[in-house]
Structure 1
Amino acid sequence: MKNKTTRLTGVAWILVTLFWATGNLLWAAMPQQTIRGTVTDTQQNPIPGVSIRLLNSNTGTQTDLQGVFNIQALPTDTLSISYLGFKTLTLPVGNQTAFTIQLQQDITDLGEVTINAGYYNTTRREQTGSIARVTAEEIERQPVTNPLAALQGRMAGVSIVQRSGVPGNAPAIQIRGQNSLRNSFGDSGNLPLYIIDGVPIDSAPLNSFSGLTNANTGGIDPLNTLNPANIESIEVLKDADATAIYGSRGANGVILITTKRGTGGKQKIRFNAQVYTGAGVVPRKLDLITTADYISLRQEAFANDGATPTESNAPDLLLWDPDRYTDWQETLFGGTAETTGVNLGVSGGSALTYYNLGVGYQRETSVFPGDFKYTKLTANLSLNHRSSDERFRFQLSTSFGSDRNRQFDGSGFVSSALTLAPNAPALYSDDGELNWEDSSWSNPLATLYRESEARVQQLISNLSLSYAITPELEARLSAGYTLLSSEELTEQPIQFYDPAFWGNIRTRSLHLTAGRQSWIAEPQLNYRNTWGKFNLYALLGSTFQHRQNTGLSIIGTGYPNDQLLGNLAAAEQLTATGNSIQEYAYAAAFGRIGLHYARKYYLNLTGRRDGSSRFGPSRRFASFGAVGGAWILSEERWMQGLKTFLSFTKLRGSYGSAGSDQIGDYGYLDTYSATPGGGGLYPTQLTNPIYSWERNRKLELALELGFLNDQLRLNTSWYRNRSSNQLVGYNLPAITGFTSVQANLDATVENTGWEFEASTHLNSGRFNWQASLNVSIPQNRLVSFPGLEESSYAVMYRVGEPLNIQRLYRFTGVDPETGLYTIEDVNEDGVYNFDDRVVAKDLTRKLFGGFRNQFTYGRVSLDFLWEFVVQDGQEFYTTTPPGRLGPILQEDYDRRWQNLGDEAGVQKASQGIAALIANSRFRSSDGIYTNTSFLRLRTLGLSYELPAESLGINSCILFLQGQNLLTLTAYRGLDPQSPGTTLPALRMLTAGLKLNF
């Protein structure tokens, strides 16, 4: 039996060996196939340099410039697709010979997401420049009108201030400080370059009647017509290496906005929807005195002055009800603003052609009384196509936005609420009409009859064509067109005025139209090749751009009746207050060379030659360039022993120059206007054909570290930007007949600073935690200004001091004898003038940043962002001195001077001229400035993802989003970021639903 078993076992081994040998012969006899494929990211951008290899084999290749690869493989082979920063894929070959592969970014691997650097893409690991990035996840759920408002506190070196809570107003933005001496309202000298899907748009706010009444609100921002829910990412380019390729346009930084696109691959049509609704209120109101204390204060003022109240100087004491009390803050800006948003999208297509289409609607009402509201409609289309051989690519993106703003800056209501006496008359009379109380006051609700509406429409379109001439060489053409039109109408009917004066009033309407249109064409050549460990990336291109701006403002006066208001044909008189057509032409040639060796040494060279029509014929062209480099030390052999703790170390630096031509058109020419009535000309501008480009030289050094397998990342950057050859309007003496002439000043402005970024993540089963911190410590100063003391700028600037300083008197307190504010007479000449303004108060932000956390457990996610700012600013005081018509803060009432010898913080109650002068000097002293730092819970979001499979859809997310929920500050006013009588940013709470099916 044993021998039989042994024989059977031996036979079995022989059969197995024969089958194995036969199988090997059969597999060896099978012909290999040519496997062809393309590799892209989730946005369908081709990824060059991706490693493609066969598992358990030494056979491998890389993708070319178009993300295409070819490899010989058997049906039994398995492809391994890997690229740093993306999740590795393994795909069995089988009978398939063509692959369309989409790699998912691995956010846990050094944050290695694809970054838009403008004319090319890079990654966190390989970037040599300073680029900040915010994704759709952080933008789309915030109920903001302007997408830049969603960036507050999220980027190092990027300062964004929401100057008003009225929808549609432009936020103030600076990237690494103020470079230009030009800092007036509407001036683009310090504004960054905005580029949307490769198309630049004019970043200067649109002029507005309502905005110009209060320049702090900033006008109408051209980004308002964008739909934040349609934005895929926003990148901000900061240093020379990142911005030099944009030449003159990148001096103040570059903001790249990329909209959402469809995804390739054979798939069914996908739909997505987002709906939200919410409410907003003013988060803070002031503690003003009550009627009893107000009446007491007014009587005290007359007693201190030895004066007698009359109906003209004291209607509040003699005509109005002394027992009446109205909370004017609650009445005039204490309402609830309602907001609603709807976004719908559809995407689909095949592996070669795919599309994304979306529409959006947003509506927001006001906290003011009356029917004020802001509405916006948007539509966007993205269409992508590539040929079957992957050599030709076509991409079209178009966005259209139309908004209608029935708002005004709100400063009138806010100012009235803070200055009206608490016993001021009722707003309406018994018959329901506005109450003017026998012309003893100005009824604040008269503003409701001053109807103002602004309509803005904007089209932004981009077409990109590319063709791979060889696997290494690609030709590309990018072309764009923008069209923006704005119309604003303000009507002032007879009801806007006190009926007692109707006989002397002529009704009027104000008409403002503006238009901007531009086109741009950029042909390019891209080359990429690899020789062993050496990689070369080269780019050569040119830019041709033309822009035309038009503006017309007309005032119509004297309408027969209010029904005809706005019909200019019915006006008795028309006055054109502005009529302009300006054209701007720009041309450039640019290039880039990127050199990589062994994935640890990186060198980036960029250059650009710019030409601008804003300079005279002899000064139109200038050259700009930069060099950037990076060294990944952690790839060196001598660093390998530290890898378990210090997993990533990178040094990078850059130096280069950018320029600026952000001045008015035709400034180098003599200009003339017709004399009134015609028949002659008079000069309106002096010629100066020799001024030239402003220069901005940028230097940066940075260290990037990763610890514990990059679970903790720390980035530190130091920068120095010097802007010289300042383009300003040089002030002239009145005897010349002109106020200024365009010229270059030999002044240099320097911005230096430190930027710190830290991020960490923790994954533990169903629990995920991500946190990030950014801190910026900027410094700004005027390095040099020859002849400053003899120039008109001596009242504004000091060499060695920041640009954003106030020249102030030195406050010496309240005189215990007189009870009035006092300031120091420095030269003791008995006269208070500019020579006594010896205090320079720096209002530049000393430190700012944000701290974000995101916690996810299962289907629940909690996300919040704290924003912090360290700064000095003007303390809030009511606009009139104590004792004059109008309230004061309860705190100031309690610490006012009352008796001889009092050590007080607030001067006595008085209506006298001496008190008024003392108060005016106090407001020009350092005594009114204080610490206006704050810590703000900028956003707080809670979301829950429903079990989508039970609903038959891909995903369903319920979310609750809060904005400006809590502000910790010692500032006494409404908002430390907003001027005293400007509506502050609202506290918003929204709830919504997001579906994908």
Structure 2
Amino acid sequence: MSTLNDNTPLVVIDGITGGDINLLNPQDIESVSVLKDAGSAAIYGSRSANGVILVTTKKGKNNSRTTVNYNGQAGIQSPHVGYKPVHSYENAILRNEAMVNAGLQPIYSPQQIRDFQQQGDQQWFLDAILKDSWQQSHNLSLTGGNATTSFLVSAGVTDQRSNLVGPDYGLRRYNYRMNLTSNYGKLKLTSILAYSRSEIREHSYSTGTLIVDAGRTPTYYKIKDDQGRYLTNDVLTEFNPLGILEQGGYRTHDDDNLLGNLNAELSVTKDFKLKAVFGGRLLSDHQFTRVKQVNFYPSGTYGADRNTNDDNNKTLFTNTQLLAEFAKTFNKSHNVDVLVGVANESTTAKQNSIHLKYTDPELGTPTTGTIIDPATSSASNNGTTETSLNSLFGRASYSYQNKYYGEFDFRVDASSKFAPQNRGAFFPSVSGGYRLTEERFMQNYRNNIGDLKLRASYGILGNQSVSDYQYLRTYGPFQNAYGFNNSGVGGTAISFANPDLRWERAATLNIGVDAGFLKNSLTVAIDYFNKTTRDILLPPIVPGTFGAGLPSYNAGKVQNHGWELTVNYYLTTQNFKHSFSFNVADSKNKVLYLEGGDQLKAMMRCR
């Protein structure tokens, strides 16, 4: 936790940034790498301040026969609740004690408490709404290749039922992937097409609220009576969680995610390559909510408005990269690698929604008396948002006899989230390493024990995690802004601007040692890190009586430092390869100070 802002790491899937790792089929993943220090993450620039997760998917192999692979698993998920209620009579005693301590009369008489003890406990509400659920997944893949082309085709399905009772709640996700690589002389083409569809059906309320309400209900209350009515009580006076789950309607999600990536690499010479990447991701998310009215006994009603909501979100993300790389070894000792590139990331998000109240209780369709809910179908929930990030980046690395290593990375990012004068930012980093075991006097150590390497890096990374258009003053409709002649009157909602908004910056120092033992069967990595994040992007806290919202501003400085130890042990036997890993870290966080007062004062002047 190195910032008061978003700490989410950047996810890069097959070279395309911003992917959703939760939508990947696990069977399609070849490898996952985590970049933590500034030296390795700097090439990704913005959003890499919180680390980078690199995911590479599987591909076919040249000159290999076609192979069919099936993977399936099934099991039962059983919810485990880490606490249990006291017995019914114990709850009554404790409630009486609480009332007396508050100077009030007890609720239950001694006879009632005796009756609770003799009758025993009713079913706990939380046990009544939870159940075991079935989960299964199946995946089928086809891989192969000839001298010039390799391929992988994969398809899978996951079915996970809900642990909450109710009519067919759960998730089904379908995955399809095709990775194709072809070589045409000096030209190498790689194309990736992946599609996933998630279908979710859940209840129409808040899961967290249902869990809390059910968990805090004493066990002398019944959840249903003999006539099948859902009961309320003096603890739950308004809602019954079981009634909401079984009769209160549903919410469905139909989400489609299409990803495409075309990669062309041209070997101009043996040492010089040109590379072009074009990738895109199209997300189409649809949510439909149907709230049904449930009447409880002796009082309480859920879903009296009989809402029927239809929400649609569509997002198109494109990533274009052009790169040139020169890599050459001179005199068998000097290794030089220079890379320079430009990139553009653009996002267009469109959303629209319509929320209806008082729809037909059986069908959920509009009927006499149905109205559009202006509070949730307003213009703020509909429209188009466009953002873009242009980047220039480069890397120069040098190594001598695999003994000395040095690298310099830089990235210049220009984000549409900031005003023109603050749009661009420069993020450099430098790293170096010294492999001691390549020295002659360490030859005996290397041959009998393992490797030993020292390394260090320092760099500045950027974060642009802030809402769009905050450097501009924006306007929108405000329903029922105030009352006039006993009726609501609309107004204009104003969002003030902060033209001084700028990049959040994180400076990271990392010093580490990599050591091998038992002829490198045992490896140990020890790291010290010190990260200071400045100009943290935060929204100001203003009282509701202020009458308007204020944009974010660069408001603070946080330091995060500590150490990390990673131990790996590899054991190879005649038929098996075993690997064991252990990791422990200690981190200390400190908010050094909050700043940005001048920006906040400028915004308060309605700039």
1:714 aligns with 2:524: yes
Partner of 2:515: 705
The one-character-per-residue Cα deviations of 1:129-162 (angstroms, maximum 9, x if unpaired) are xxxxxxxxxxxxxxxxxxxxxxxxxxxxxxxxxx
1:725 aligns with 2:535: yes
Of 338, 346, 349 in structure 1, the residue corresponding to residue 145 of structure 2 is: 349
CA contact (8 A) 1:614 1:668 kept: yes
Which amino acid letter does the alignment assign opposite residue 530 of structure 2?
Answer: R
Determine the C-alpha separation between the residues in 1 that align with 2:544 and 2:214.
Answer: 41
The one-character-per-residue Cα deviations of 1:160-215 (angstroms, maximum 9, x if unpaired) are xxxxxxxxxxxxxxxxx232x22xxxxxx32111111111226xxxxxxxxxxxxx
Of 545, 548, 564 in structure 1, the residue corresponding to residue 345 of structure 2 is: 545
CA contact (8 A) 1:644 1:708 kept: no
Which amino acid letter does the alignment assign opposite residue 475 of structure 1?
Answer: L
Of 292, 301, 326 in structure 1, the residue corresponding to residue 89 of structure 2 is: 292
- CA shift for structure 1 position 520: 1.1
Partner of 1:775: 584
- CA shift for structure 1 position 236: 1.4
Of 564, 574, 579 in structure 1, the residue corresponding to residue 364 of structure 2 is: 564
- CA shift for structure 1 position 305: 6.1
CA contact (8 A) 2:396 2:409 kept: yes
1:363 aligns with 2:159: yes
Aligned pairs, number: 580
1:171-250 matches, within 5 Å, as: 177-179=1-3, 181-182=4-5, 189-201=6-18, 222-250=20-48
The secondary structure found in structure 1 opposite 2:46 is helix
Partner of 1:611: 414
- Say if 1:494 and 1:351 are closer, same or farther in 2 by CA, change over 3 A: same
More deviation, 729-738/769-778: 729-738
1:629-644 matches, within 5 Å, as: 629-644=432-447
The one-character-per-residue Cα deviations of 1:94-139 (angstroms, maximum 9, x if unpaired) are xxxxxxxxxxxxxxxxxxxxxxxxxxxxxxxxxxxxxxxxxxxxxx
CA contact (8 A) 1:591 1:608 kept: yes
Which amino acid letter does the alignment assign opposite residue 175 of structure 2?
Answer: T
- Say if 1:642 and 1:306 are closer, same or farther in 2 by CA, change over 3 A: closer
Determine the C-alpha separation between the residues in 2 that align with 1:572 and 1:334.
Answer: 36
| Percent identity over paired residues | 25
CA contact (8 A) 2:309 2:356 kept: yes
- CA shift for structure 1 position 333: 5.0
Determine the C-alpha separation between the residues in 2 that align with 1:787 and 1:523.
Answer: 38
- Say if 1:308 and 1:641 are closer, same or farther in 2 by CA, change over 3 A: closer
The normalised TM-score by structure 2 is 0.87
Determine the C-alpha separation between the residues in 2 that align with 1:482 and 1:639.
Answer: 51
Instruction: State the superposition RMSD in angstroms.
Output: 3.2
Q: Which runs of 5+ in 2 are unaligned?
A: 482-488, 602-607
Which amino acid letter does the alignment assign opposite residue 249 of structure 2?
Answer: R
The one-character-per-residue Cα deviations of 1:712-758 (angstroms, maximum 9, x if unpaired) are 2111011111111222223457786434233222x321111111011
More deviation, 293-302/672-681: 672-681
Partner of 2:291: 492
- CA shift for structure 1 position 466: 0.9
1:579 aligns with 2:393: no
- CA shift for structure 1 position 684: 1.5
- Say if 1:652 and 1:456 are closer, same or farther in 2 by CA, change over 3 A: same
The one-character-per-residue Cα deviations of 1:308-341 (angstroms, maximum 9, x if unpaired) are 5679x99x98999982522326633542121000
Q: Indicate the structure with greater strand content.
A: 2
- Say if 1:305 and 1:534 are closer, same or farther in 2 by CA, change over 3 A: closer
Which amino acid letter does the alignment assign opposite residue 548 of structure 1?
Answer: T
Of 328, 336, 342 in structure 2, the residue corresponding to residue 536 of structure 1 is: 336
Partner of 2:486: none
CA contact (8 A) 1:427 1:443 kept: no
The one-character-per-residue Cα deviations of 1:369-405 (angstroms, maximum 9, x if unpaired) are 2232111111111011002x3x110001111111112
Which amino acid letter does the alignment assign opposite residue 539 of structure 2?
Answer: G
- Say if 1:503 and 1:683 are closer, same or farther in 2 by CA, change over 3 A: closer
CA contact (8 A) 1:310 1:318 kept: no
Which amino acid letter does the alignment assign opposite residue 629 of structure 1?
Answer: G
- Say if 1:353 and 1:677 are closer, same or farther in 2 by CA, change over 3 A: same
The structure with the largest alpha-carbon Rg is 1
Which amino acid letter does the alignment assign opposite residue 33 of structure 2?
Answer: E
Of 312, 320, 323 in structure 2, the residue corresponding to residue 524 of structure 1 is: 323
Which amino acid letter does the alignment assign opposite residue 682 of structure 1?
Answer: T
Determine the C-alpha separation between the residues in 2 that align with 1:543 and 1:323.
Answer: 72
Of 673, 681, 684 in structure 1, the residue corresponding to residue 494 of structure 2 is: 684
The one-character-per-residue Cα deviations of 1:885-942 (angstroms, maximum 9, x if unpaired) are xxxxxxxxxxxxxxxxxxxxxxxxxxxxxxxxxxxxxxxxxxxxxxxxxxxxxxxxxx
CA contact (8 A) 2:526 2:564 kept: yes
1:315-330 matches, within 5 Å, as: 323=119, 325-328=121-124
The one-character-per-residue Cα deviations of 1:604-655 (angstroms, maximum 9, x if unpaired) are 1111111111111111111111111111110001222433554211011111
The one-character-per-residue Cα deviations of 1:536-577 (angstroms, maximum 9, x if unpaired) are 111111001210123334431111333125x69983333315
Which amino acid letter does the alignment assign opposite residue 393 of structure 1?
Answer: K
The normalised TM-score by structure 1 is 0.54
Which amino acid letter does the alignment assign opposite residue 435 of structure 2?
Answer: I
- CA shift for structure 1 position 345: 0.7
Which amino acid letter does the alignment assign opposite residue 650 of structure 1?
Answer: K
Determine the C-alpha separation between the residues in 2 that align with 1:593 and 1:553.
Answer: 49
1:141-152 matches, within 5 Å, as: none
Determine the C-alpha separation between the residues in 2 that align with 1:319 and 1:411.
Answer: 33
Q: Which runs of 5+ in 1 are unaligned?
A: 1-176, 183-188, 203-221, 793-997
Partner of 1:108: none
The secondary structure found in structure 2 opposite 1:248 is coil
1:154-165 matches, within 5 Å, as: none
1:260 aligns with 2:58: yes
The secondary structure found in structure 1 opposite 2:344 is strand
- CA shift for structure 1 position 505: 3.0
- CA shift for structure 1 position 773: 0.9
Of 363, 384, 395 in structure 1, the residue corresponding to residue 190 of structure 2 is: 395
More deviation, 323-332/243-252: 323-332
Which amino acid letter does the alignment assign opposite residue 90 of structure 2?
Answer: D
The one-character-per-residue Cα deviations of 1:744-798 (angstroms, maximum 9, x if unpaired) are 22x321111111011123335457543221111111111233589xx99xxxxxx
CA contact (8 A) 1:713 1:760 kept: yes
1:50-61 matches, within 5 Å, as: none
Determine the C-alpha separation between the residues in 2 that align with 1:425 and 1:520.
Answer: 57
- CA shift for structure 1 position 288: 2.1
Which amino acid letter does the alignment assign opposite residue 417 of structure 1?
Answer: A
- Say if 1:621 and 1:602 are closer, same or farther in 2 by CA, change over 3 A: same
Which amino acid letter does the alignment assign opposite residue 234 of structure 1?
Answer: V
1:335 aligns with 2:131: yes
1:454 aligns with 2:257: no
The one-character-per-residue Cα deviations of 1:38-82 (angstroms, maximum 9, x if unpaired) are xxxxxxxxxxxxxxxxxxxxxxxxxxxxxxxxxxxxxxxxxxxxx
Determine the C-alpha separation between the residues in 2 that align with 1:472 and 1:225.
Answer: 37
1:362-381 matches, within 5 Å, as: 362-370=158-166, 371-381=168-178
The secondary structure found in structure 2 opposite 1:643 is helix
- Say if 1:417 and 1:734 are closer, same or farther in 2 by CA, change over 3 A: closer
CA contact (8 A) 2:238 2:300 kept: no
1:810-825 matches, within 5 Å, as: none
Which amino acid letter does the alignment assign opposite residue 363 of structure 2?
Answer: Q
- CA shift for structure 1 position 365: 1.2
Determine the C-alpha separation between the residues in 2 that align with 1:695 and 1:305.
Answer: 52
- Say if 1:755 and 1:324 are closer, same or farther in 2 by CA, change over 3 A: same
The secondary structure found in structure 2 opposite 1:415 is helix
